[in-house]
Amino acid sequence: MVERKLLVLFGSQTGTAQDTAERIGREAKRRHFQCRVEALDSYDVANLINELLVVFVCSTTGQGDPPDNMKMFWRFLFRKNLPPSSLCQLDYAVLGLGDSSYPKFNFVAKKLHKRVLQLGGNPLLPVALGDDQHDLGPDAVVDPWLLALWDKILALYPLPPGLEIISPDVRLPPKYTLQYLPEDSPQPDGGPVEPGAQLQVAAAGAVPCELRPFAARLLCNRRLTAHQHFQDVRLIDLDVTGSGITFSAGDVVMIQPQNFPEDVQQFCQLLRLDPDRRFVLKPTEPGTSLPALLPQPCTIRYLVTHYLDISCVPRRSFFELLSYFSTNELEREKLQEFSSAQGQEELYSYCNRPRRTTLEALWDFPHTTCAIPAEYLLDLIPRIRPRAFSIASSMMAHPDRLQILVAVVRYKTRLSKPRRGLCSTWLASLNPEQGDVRVPLWVKKGGMKFPADPDTPVIMIGPGTGVAPFRAAIQERVAQGCGGNYLFFGCRHKSKDFYWQAEWEELVAKGVLTLFTAFSRDQEEKVYVQHRIRENSKLLWELLSNGNTRVYLAG
């Protein structure tokens, strides 16, 4: 009897592809497959030649780029020296998630499908191209494609005799079991580990990364916009001494935010959880790894504060799993509607349009919420994802420091409570005068690279907070003695949101920067950076026709 094994590999930037991959994993278990679901870069790609059945789920980011957690896999797969028959025993299918408003719609999925085919793979189906722009979202393509996929797979690997597909009415076991420790069990090393200390220990001697962030000390959190200005924009200054972190202009810092204490308290009250209770996790199936960012043992408070994304907008899979715990008929019917293909428009109106959070959705289903078993929390709620910020300083100007410009996200929808960005609001709330305040972070290469040749002129167009990476570039270029720095900056009012005004004016006075500003609301006629570009078209054309000038734009 052939082993019924399925591997689901995903490349995901925002979590949608991972959510879809986990859905395929659940559907595989209902069909009695041994199934592993892994990020592409967590998988040892050299083993791909031994696999018989793989489903790839991947999104496309930026200008047709692969997501961060499949970049190593991508480089390996496109090596020129791979024999064309490498994957001749592989049956595969590719599911792409994209947005047709972008020119390179589902580029990664199409290219992956083609490459595996070139290497001898046997496609079970044409590549699926899920589209965010469809009225029903990617599910409009995903749902029928998955039905066709299971027909193909079950024709190759029929159900073992005497077994039937597990009904959708039956709840699958959780990924982990959660075992509470006795309340009087000793604390490790005499007390709970502070998250900051824990992160720093993990980062010692290794370059910080997502699994080992560095806990940087907050030096300064200063509002740069006038207090009467509608937008709160902060300069966040962090100390990275001893981290081993290095960066250049154009690089990006990833920050791991956390939930607010009042939200954590509400969540624990709703689910009737004791925040100080300690537990250990055990995988339900052998071969499942434990969540890398959770200590063992762990408290409920740490889990909810640092790991569970209770402020994200819940997905369809959240309502599907939630419906299994419901003891209330009305609530169960509504949850089942939200998790059905027909209920997606209704779900969009309930969740996505008003940006309702997971915590708020739990409030709306109180009978169900208080019946959620704690061990299903990690299946129900995704982990908090890191947020990316352009680095706004150069190590040449500020050694061992890393600065970012943060616009605090706050806006209204039809819900009475204003929506707020998790990471920006958390950063804005931190006060370095209240002791040793730490921010978990690591650095990634950015998409912008500035020329090494000091004689290459650089035109930078950075309206609003888009100016952040150009501050790093200008500091770096001035320190290296590079001339030819041209900056177009735009904001609403010179007196309210002209970030780093004194710094720019000092560089202009020294003759190392040419600055063009547009303050859109300081006069009757609105003036934007494009007007200043048009006014200075002669100068710009002279620079551009010289052949090696670079133009950068950040918004």
Calpha distance 13→171 (Å, rounded): 28
**Domain membership flag for residue 12:** yes
147 is written with which tokens? 């039905």
Instruction: In the chain, count H helices and then E strands.
Output: 18, 21
Do 465 and 361 share a domain, yes or no? no
**Domain membership flag for residue 111:** yes
Q: Give the model's pLDDT for residue 311.
A: 97
Q: Give the model's pLDDT for residue 200.
A: 42
392 is written with which tokens? 């706004």
Do 475 and 549 share a domain, yes or no? yes
Confidence of residue 288 (pLDDT cuts 50, 70, 90): confident
**Domain membership flag for residue 534:** yes
Q: Give the model's pLDDT for residue 387.
A: 96
Do 392 and 298 share a domain, yes or no? no
Q: Is the pLDDT of residue 1 over 90?
A: no
Calpha distance 300→274 (Å, rounded): 7
Query: Collapsing DSSP states into helix, strand and coil, what is residue 107?
Result: helix
**Domain membership flag for residue 489:** yes
Calpha distance 329→367 (Å, rounded): 10
pLDDT digits (tens, 9 = 90+) for 434-485: 999 999 999 999 989 999 888 999 999 999 999 999 999 999 999 999 989 9
Calpha distance 39→59 (Å, rounded): 12
Q: Give the model's pLDDT for residue 196.
A: 44
pLDDT digits (tens, 9 = 90+) for 380-436: 999 999 999 999 999 999 999 999 999 999 999 999 999 999 999 999 999 999 999
Residue 173: CA count within 13 A, CB half-sphere: 9
- Residue 519's CATH number: 3.40.50.80
Query: Collapsing DSSP states into helix, strand and coil, what is residue 409?
Result: coil
Calpha distance 155→160 (Å, rounded): 12
**Domain membership flag for residue 189:** no
Q: Phi, psi at residue 33, to the nearest 5°?
A: -90, 145
141 is written with which tokens? 């393509």
Do 265 and 286 share a domain, yes or no? yes
Q: Give the model's pLDDT for residue 203.
A: 43
User: 16-30 and 139-156 are packed helices; what angle lies between their axes, rounded to 10 degrees?
Assistant: 40
Nearest to 146 by CA among 55, 273, 255, 220: 55
**Domain membership flag for residue 205:** no
Q: Is the pLDDT of residue 297 over 80?
A: yes
Asked whether the beta carbons of 115 and 79 are under 8 A apart, the reply is no
Q: In terms of residue numbers, what domain contains 428?
A: 214-256+386-444
Nearest to 442 by CA among 136, 229, 202, 108: 202
DSSP-assigned letters across all residues of 502-545: HHHHHHHHTTS-EEEEEETTSSSS---HHHHHHHTHHHHHHHHH
pLDDT digits (tens, 9 = 90+) for 322-365: 999 999 999 999 999 999 988 988 999 999 999 999 999 999 99
pTM: 0.91
Q: Give the model's pLDDT for residue 199.
A: 47
Query: Collapsing DSSP states into helix, strand and coil, what is residue 414?
Result: coil
Nearest to 448 by CA among 259, 233, 248: 248
Residues 6+ apart with CB under 8 A from 211: 292, 293
pLDDT digits (tens, 9 = 90+) for 181-240: 998 777 765 444 444 444 444 445 689 999 899 999 999 999 999 999 999 999 999 999
Q: Is the pLDDT of residue 44 over 50?
A: yes
Do 55 and 126 share a domain, yes or no? yes
Do 273 and 393 share a domain, yes or no? no
Calpha distance 361→358 (Å, rounded): 5
Q: Is the pLDDT of residue 105 over 70?
A: yes
Asked whether the beta carbons of 510 and 471 are under 8 A apart, the reply is no
Do 516 and 532 share a domain, yes or no? yes
Do 517 and 421 share a domain, yes or no? no
**Domain membership flag for residue 207:** no
Do 310 and 229 share a domain, yes or no? no
Residues forming a β-bridge with 214: 441
Calpha distance 6→91 (Å, rounded): 10
Domains held by the chain: number: 4
**Domain membership flag for residue 480:** yes
Q: Give the model's pLDDT for residue 167.
A: 95
Q: Phi, psi at residue 89, to the nearest 5°?
A: -100, 5
Asked whether the beta carbons of 297 and 188 are under 8 A apart, the reply is yes
